[in-house]
């Protein structure tokens, strides 16, 4: 067997599943990282920007109070209560500033003027009146803090934008990952199912043809995996079957030929003795000579059938189709079978309309009609009736041979067209070689026709076949 295998089905499945898992994990890992980043940005917004914003607001509030109290101090001409408020606000402002700088040291540089001037201004020893938190200084501080507030707002805005962009990107990646997984999953399964099914269908067809009694034919090898190997094994088996079939056909042909020559001599000798050429034959001798003649005729008939099967097997079925008088063909067949039918106590009835014609090889179709009618007579039993009918329908002529014999069980109906097959119930009681129907089927198929059986056990059987009006070249 050639070494053709590259990727077996298990490897293909594993690669496909790995690709799916890889994409799934890559997407999940990316989304996980993105969620963590988003959580970090959100936490920064809360712990840094929001906290800073609140602190600056509180400091500004204190400074606005200071400004108001300075104004009050001036209007009231040195109100000591206002001084007290100023000192308290400045002190609170200083504490908040300290705490904020501890939490957000990056503002140390920006707020340097605030801290240095704050130290000067709050020198507690004897600082009063105009020197106490001069108005201009407080305004500068307010400006610096408002500027920081704005910057912090812009920073918050930038972080929120980054958060939104990251979220949108994560959603995109998740969607693409999902779409890819779906594509690989559904597409991969469809592609896999298609290739597996294609290869399997090919092998199935070969097995079905073989089971239906067809000649063993090679199937196409469509893949290099286990199913390809199965197809190769099937082809090897088909080749062996063909070889054996040929050998059997050759053997049967040789045997038939070897038996026919001495058989002909025996028949001639029996005929000569029976005709009285060598002297008077008494009644008892005549009876035994008749039996010998009948038996040798049976033997000769069997040999003829065996020969025609082996010829058909080796493709030697040659058709010479012509316009045939179907009515006459049926009538002459029934006439030839009349002695056998009378001996068996069976009535033959023709139900073929006058002037029915068809395109066929008359010799072969006569053989089919003889086989089917002969079987019907054989299986009908004494007192039975065999009806042969024919009619034109849909571009073909349909022939049917119906009897009122035992019929054929449904499970046997497919098998009886196989070579050498005989139904178990008749194997030991009724003569036959199981070849008549196989030969008939070959002949009908060679005419592009169809042959089938309609039967219910106990209610007789009808064997029908069609002969389409096919142009001669189509028989080739």
Q: Which residues bind ligand ADP (CB under 6 A)?
A: 371, 375-376, 379, 403, 405-406, 408, 416, 422-423, 426, 432-438, 461
Q: How far is the CB of 380 from ligand ADP (least distance, A)?
A: 7
Among residues 376, 378, 384, 382, which one has the least CA distance to residue 402? 376
Whether 412 and 464 have beta carbons less than 8 Å apart is answered as no
Give me the least distance between CB of 442 and ligand ADP, in Å please: 11
Q: Which is nearer to ligand ADP, 114 or 462 (CB)?
A: 462
Question: If we measure between CA atoms, which residue out of 439, 440, 431, 429 comes closest to residue 295?
Answer: 431
CB contact set of 437 (below 8 Å; sequence gap of 6+): 371, 375, 416, 417, 463
433: number of Cβ within 10 Å: 14
Q: 397 or 438, CB closer to ligand ADP?
A: 438
411, 417 in Cβ contact below 8 A?
no
Contact between 145 and 60 under an 8 Å Cβ cutoff? The reply is yes
Six-digit token pair at 297? 């005729």
Looking at beta carbons, which residue is closest to ligand ADP?
A: 432
Specify the residue, 346 or 435, whose C-beta has the smaller distance to ligand ADP.
Answer: 435
The least distance separating ligand ADP from the CB of residue 276, rounded to whole angstroms, comes to: 35
Q: What is the spatial distance between Cα 360 and Cα 215, in angstroms, rounded to a whole number?
A: 24
Nearer residue to ligand ADP within complex by CB, 282 or 428: 428
Burial class (CB in 10 A: 0-12, 13-18, 19+), 241: middle
| Minimum separation from the CB atom of position 424 to ligand ADP (A) | 8
- Cβ-based nearer residue to ligand ADP, 366 or 392: 366
Write out the two tokens for 354.
């006058």
437 vs 451, beta carbon nearer ligand ADP: 437
Query: 86 or 408, CB closer to ligand ADP?
Result: 408
In angstroms, give the least distance from the CB of 415 to ligand ADP.
Answer: 8
Those residues whose C-beta lies under 8 Å from the C-beta of residue 435, and which sit 6 or more positions away, are 305, 306, 309, 419, 420
Residue 188 or 432: the one with the smaller Cβ distance to ligand ADP is 432
- Shortest CB 213 distance to ligand ADP, Å: 11
DSSP β-ladder status, 451-455 and 396-402: unpaired
* Rounded least distance, CB 388 to ligand ADP, Å: 12
Which residue, 223 or 296, has its beta carbon nearer to ligand ADP?
296
Q: In degrees to the nearest 10, what's the CA dihedral of 369, 373, 376, 382?
A: 180
Cβ nearer to ligand ADP, comparing 327 with 413: 413
Task: For the CB of residue 270, give the shortest distance to ligand ADP in the complex, in Å.
Answer: 24
Distance between CA atoms of 362 and 359, rounded to whole angstroms? 9
- Residue 370 CB, nearest approach to ligand ADP (Å): 11
Minimum gap (Å) between residue 461 Cβ and ligand ADP: 4
Q: Based on the number of CB atoms within 10 Å of its own CB, is 56 exposed (0-12), middle (13-18) or buried (19 or more)?
A: buried
One-character DSSP codes across 217-284:
-------SSHHHHHHHHHHHHHHHHHHHHHHHHHHHHHHHHHHHHHHHHHHHHHHHHHTTTTS---HH
How far does CA 211 lie from the centroid of its chain? 23
């Amino acid at each position: 067997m050639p070494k053709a295998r590259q990727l077996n089905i298990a490897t293909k499945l594993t690669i496909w599943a790995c690709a799916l898992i890889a994409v799934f994990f890559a997407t999940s890992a990316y989304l996980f990282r993105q969620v963590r980043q988003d959580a970090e940005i959100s936490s920064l917004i809360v712990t840094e920007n929001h906290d800073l914003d609140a602190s600056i607001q509180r400091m500004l509030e204190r400074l606005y109070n200071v400004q108001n109290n300075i104004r009050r101090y001036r209007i009231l001409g040195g109100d000591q209560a206002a001084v007290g408020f100023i000192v308290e606000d400045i002190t609170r402002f200083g504490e908040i500033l300290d705490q904020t700088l501890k939490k957000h040291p990056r503002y140390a540089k920006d707020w340097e003027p605030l801290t240095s001037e704050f130290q000067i201004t709050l020198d507690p020893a004897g600082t009063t009146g105009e020197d106490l938190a001069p108005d201009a200084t407080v305004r500068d501080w307010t400006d610096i803090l408002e500027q920081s507030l704005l910057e912090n707002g812009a920073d918050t805005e930038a972080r929120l934008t980054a958060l939104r962009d990251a979220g949108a990107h994560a959603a995109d990646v998740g969607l693409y990952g999902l779409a890819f997984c779906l594509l690989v999953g559904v597409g991969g399964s469809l592609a896999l199912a298609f290739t597996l099914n294609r290869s399997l269908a090919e092998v199935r067809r070969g097995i079905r043809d073989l089971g239906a009694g067809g000649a063993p034919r090679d199937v196409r090898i469509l893949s290099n995996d286990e199913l390809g190997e199965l197809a190769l094994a099937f082809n090897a088996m088909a080749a062996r079957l063909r070889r054996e079939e040929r050998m059997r056909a050759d053997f049967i042909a040789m045997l038939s030929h070897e038996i026919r020559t001495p058989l002909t001599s025996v028949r001639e000798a029996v005929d000569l003795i029976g005709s009285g050429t060598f002297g008077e034959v008494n009644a008892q001798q005549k009876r035994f000579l008749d039996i010998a003649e009948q038996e040798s005729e049976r033997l000769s008939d069997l040999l003829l059938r065996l020969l025609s099967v082996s010829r058909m097997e080796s493709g030697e079925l040659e058709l010479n189709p012509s316009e045939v008088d179907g009515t006459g063909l049926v009538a002459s067949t029934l006439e030839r079978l009349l002695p056998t039918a009378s001996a068996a106590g069976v009535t033959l009835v023709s139900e073929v309309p006058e002037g029915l014609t068809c395109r066929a090889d008359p010799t072969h179709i006569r053989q089919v009609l003889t086989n089917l009618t002969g079987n019907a007579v054989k299986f009908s039993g004494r007192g039975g009736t065999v009806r042969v009918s024919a009619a034109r329908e849909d571009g073909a002529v349909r022939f049917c041979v119906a009897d009122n014999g035992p019929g054929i069980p449904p499970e046997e109906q497919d098998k009886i067209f196989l070579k050498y097959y005989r139904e178990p119930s008749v194997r030991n009681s009724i003569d036959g070689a199981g070849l008549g129907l196989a030969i008939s089927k070959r002949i009908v198929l060679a005419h592009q026709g169809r042959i089938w059986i309609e039967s219910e056990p106990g209610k007789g059987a009808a064997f029908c076949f069609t002969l389409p009006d096919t142009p001669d070249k189509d028989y080739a």
